[in-house]
Amino acid sequence: MTNTHLTEAPLTDAQLAAQPAAYWTGMAYEALIAFTRARQAEHGFTQPQFWLLRNLSPNDLHPHGPGRTIAELHEAMSSYLRAEDDLEAEAGPLVERGWLTRDAEGRLSITERGESARVDLSRHSPAIREAIHEGIDDADYVTTLKVLRRMMRNVQA
């Protein structure tokens, strides 16, 4: 059975209510990440590369201080990195493009060209979001997130 088949199978509200949330949130996560990464790849960058630029930008997620080491970046991104994401390998092309520099201690810093690229790459985000949210009004989306947040609170120790 394909994933598309799972999402299009006619289920009653009672059947849906009996479905395991963890299964569907996992399926949704994988589908959304795959979609997002495919759209970003069409524009010539990877999601981890975009995260590197964001986490090194003083105008985005790193408003203070100098560059960061790969270990510091990994820690900063630990809640959303995937197991297969290799920040060292992802940084290489950004250094080659002149978007990042690496100092003698191995700290990565964003360059002016990198900041310009970050701003340019971020322009793709609204279209990706729009495609993901097609046919879903904001009220339903907010309700879904509230339900998921409540489920998370329900299972926290």
Neighbouring C-beta atoms of residue 106, cutoff 10 Å? 13
- The torsion angles phi and psi of 100, rounded to 5 degrees, stand at -130, 155
Tokens of 68: 């960061």
Tokens of 65: 């201080």
Query: For 104-147, what is each residue's pLDDT tens digit?
Result: 999 999 999 999 999 999 999 999 999 999 999 999 999 999 99
The whole-model pTM stands at 0.86
Query: For 15-72, what is each residue's pLDDT tens digit?
Result: 999 999 999 999 999 999 999 999 999 999 999 999 999 999 999 999 887 899 999 9
